């Protein structure tokens, strides 16, 4: 009995080992042999597939502009499509002849055929890889080699079936973009409202193709996208000229209607730092400013003198039909001052909450956005306004409290004054908020934009509000708050113990 059991265990172990060898061979085969270049409409596209980690991704590479990546499926197989040949004249001719809709039809038809070819190619190359690696490992033990081959083919086939079953074209409503800042709004595509969001392959292709056509054939035009109110949210520049340059380029590249700065434009509250105010007219569009805890009243006064600036300190303004209320931070703690007790600082920030709530409820026009430097100042308006924007903590984040979406942006100045302390790993950060036009503007989506100060690599992540948070209904009655991951957090939106920044 013991000998029989040992034989069974050895047999199972041999089969499991052969299966593992087969999967390794499949991975090698796909890595080396899966790539193939095929025609799709006026494009030539290099298709590739292989095992990845975690959720499967679909990556669309559009050289030299950048790439769009989306978590489209749960299979471990990831797909990459790279435009290897784009004839701009040919592309323009096709668009003129059949329009974007006709181009999408061509690409849809070709894409379905080519993807079927890729599916069979992955099975073949995984089998070849498994057979070669199996032969190298097991040599003349053909039964084990056959087991490795069968395991590889069945494993890849199961992953392909899982890919097809779980594939979500709607994931491309929230892609991550990496590449050149100036072309990000073209490639990431226009914002779509919940009633017009991408639900099928054709609509997904239409958004991607439209962005690609705009990038390749209208490189010198200003990207506009769909008719929405675009607001650039920046914060914590901390007197960084590079941060101001980054913000100005984002404002220009995304063609925003206004800039909303939630404070800490300076760090040490010195007269020299106030020179950065002279950069505000360069934006060439309304610049709304809310004072941070590092900003002096003198700085606020200097900003108010700028022709395109609006200082929000206990008042609301309406621009492009969007009403924004702001209040400056009650504390003044320049970086050169004495250390500040974190608990006292937080209590002081929360102390202005009742005033903000009173001002919002008494406003002539309904307030769509409350802007503060520290979101603890606006805890009292949870359930009263749709959106609260802030900075201060130098970390990008979002959470929902009583139907109010709280958006924190990281530091637009990157290391800012910290450059003297070798804090060079902090990215430049900003957000572009998209609001619908109409009597009551609603936040449709927002882009989180970050750029590494050393490598200059850029990422743009699109978050669609309805997809990420569902329907947001304002409910003034206190309830637990949920972040984007669904985790419960204390009402008020922060458990941070970060010292005042």
Asked if residue 284 and residue 165 are part of one domain, the reply reads: no
Reported pTM = 0.70
| 498, part of any domain | no
Nearest to 375 by CA among 395, 392, 396: 392
What pLDDT, on a 0 to 100 scale, did the predictor assign at position 425? 72
Q: Tell me the per-residue pLDDT of 132-175, one tens digit each, with 9 for 90 and over.
A: 999 999 988 899 999 999 999 999 999 989 888 888 776 766 77
Task: Please tell me what DSSP assigns to residue 436.
Answer: -
Kindly report the number of other CB atoms within 10 A of residue 252's CB atom.
Answer: 17
Per-residue pLDDT, 66? 67
Give the structural domain span for 291: 229-489
- Report the CATH number that the domain containing residue 322 is assigned in CATH: 3.60.21.10
The pLDDT tens digits for 96-110 are 777 766 776 777 777
Distance CA(270)–CA(166), nearest Å, equals 57
Please indicate whether residue 177 or residue 468 has the higher confidence score (pLDDT). Answer: 468
Indicate whether 144 belongs to any domain: yes
158 and 241, same domain (yes or no): no
Same domain, 239 and 175: no
Same domain, 161 and 73: yes
- Whether residue 355 has pLDDT greater than 60: yes
The answer to whether residue 223 scores a pLDDT higher than 90 is: no
Range of lowest pLDDT (165-179, 391-405, 441-455, 466-480):
165-179
Q: Is the domain of 147 the same as that of 235?
A: no
359/484 same-domain check: yes
Please check whether residue 51 lies inside any domain of the structure.
yes
Residues 159 and 244 in one domain: no
DSSP sequence for 233-279:
EE---TT-HHHHHHHHHHHHHTT-SEEEE-S---SS--TTGGGGGGG
Q: How many CB atoms lie within 10 A of CB 112?
A: 10
Q: Is residue 209 part of a domain?
A: no
Whether the bond into 438 is cis, omega within 30 of 0: no
**246 and 97 in a common domain:** no
Q: Is the model's pLDDT at 119 over the cut of 70? A: yes
pLDDT band at 198 (very low <50, low <70, confident <90, very high): very low
Residue 419 scores a pLDDT above 60:
no
Instruction: Flag whether 189 is in a domain.
Output: no
Half-sphere exposure in the Cβ direction for 156 (13 Å, CA): 32
Does 193 map to a domain?
Answer: no
Do residues 160 and 302 both lie within one domain?
A: no
Same structural domain, 235 and 173: no
The residues with which 322 forms a beta bridge, in sequence order, are: 319
| Total number of domains in the chain | 2
Q: Which residue has the tokens 């409350």?
A: 370
- Please report whether residue 72 resides in a domain: yes
State the pairing for strand pair 77-86/43-51.
antiparallel
Q: Is the pLDDT of residue 111 over 90?
A: no
Per-residue pLDDT tens over the stretch 437-466: 989 999 999 999 988 877 667 788 889 999
DSSP output for 182-206:
GGHHHHH-----GGG---SHHHHHH
**What's the Cα-to-Cα distance from 344 to each of 161, 275, 378, 499, rounded to whole Å?**
57, 31, 17, 11
Instruction: Mark whether 103 and 235 lie in a shared domain.
Output: no
- Is it the case that residue 210 has pLDDT exceeding 70? no
Predicted confidence (pLDDT) per residue in 230-239, tens digit: 999 999 999 8
Does 221 reside within a domain? Answer: no
Q: Are residues 355 and 462 in the same domain?
A: yes
């Amino acid at each position: 009995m013991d000998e029989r059991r040992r034989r069974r265990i050895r047999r199972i172990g041999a089969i499991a080992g052969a299966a593992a060898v087969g999967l390794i061979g499949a991975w090698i085969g796909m890595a080396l042999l899966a790539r193939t270049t095929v025609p799709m409409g006026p494009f030539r596209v290099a298709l590739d597939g292989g095992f990845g980690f975690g959720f499967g991704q679909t990556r669309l590479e559009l050289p030299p502009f950048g790439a769009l990546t989306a978590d489209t499926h749960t299979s471990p197989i990831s797909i990459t499509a790279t435009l290897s040949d784009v004839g701009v004249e040919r592309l323009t001719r096709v668009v003129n002849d059949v329009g974007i809709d006709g181009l999408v039809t061509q690409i849809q038809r070709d894409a379905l055929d080519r993807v079927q070819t890729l599916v069979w190619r992955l099975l073949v190359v995984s089998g070849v890889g498994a057979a070669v690696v199996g032969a190298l490992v097991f040599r003349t033990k053909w039964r084990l080699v056959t087991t490795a081959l069968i395991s590889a083919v069945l494993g890849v086939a199961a992953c392909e079936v899982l890919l097809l079953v779980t594939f979500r074209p709607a994931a491309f409503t929230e892609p991550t973009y990496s590449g050149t800042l100036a072309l990000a709004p073209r490639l990431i595509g226009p914002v779509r409202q919940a009633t017009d969001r991408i639900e099928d392959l054709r609509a997904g292709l239409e958004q991607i193709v439209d962005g690609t056509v705009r990038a390749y054939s209208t490189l010198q035009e200003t990207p506009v996208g769909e008719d929405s109110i675009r607001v650039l949210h920046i914060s914590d520049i901390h007197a960084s000229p590079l941060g101001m340059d980054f913000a100005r380029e984002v404002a220009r590249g995304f063609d925003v209607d206004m800039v909303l700065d939630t404070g800490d434009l300076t760090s040490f509250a010195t007269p020299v730092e106030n020179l950065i105010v002279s950069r505000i007219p360069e934006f060439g569009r309304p610049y709304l400013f809310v004072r941070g805890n590092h900003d002096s009243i003198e700085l606020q006064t200097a900003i108010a003198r700028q022709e395109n600036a609006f200082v929000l300190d206990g008042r609301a303004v309406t621009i492009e039909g969007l009403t924004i209320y702001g209040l400056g931070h009650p504390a003044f703690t320049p970086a050169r001052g004495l250390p500040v007790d974190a608990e006292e600082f937080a209590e002081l920030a929360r102390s202005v909450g009742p005033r903000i709530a009173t001002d919002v409820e008494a406003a002539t026009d309904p307030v769509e956005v409350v802007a503060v430097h520290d979101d603890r100042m606006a805890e009292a308006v949870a359930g009263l306004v749709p959106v609260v924007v802030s900075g201060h903590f130098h970390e990008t984040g979002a959470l929902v409290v009583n139907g109010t979406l709280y958006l924190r942006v990281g530091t637009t100045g990157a290391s800012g004054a910290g450059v003297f302390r070798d804090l060079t790993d902090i990215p430049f950060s900003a957000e572009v908020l998209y609001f619908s036009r109409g009597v009551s503007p609603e936040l449709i989506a927002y882009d989180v934009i970050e750029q590494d100060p050393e490598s200059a690599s850029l990422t743009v992540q699109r978050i669609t509000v309805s997809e990420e948070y569902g329907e947001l209904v304002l409910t003034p009655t206190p309830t637990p708050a949920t972040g984007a991951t669904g985790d419960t957090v204390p009402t008020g939106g922060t458990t941070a113990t970060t010292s005042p920044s």
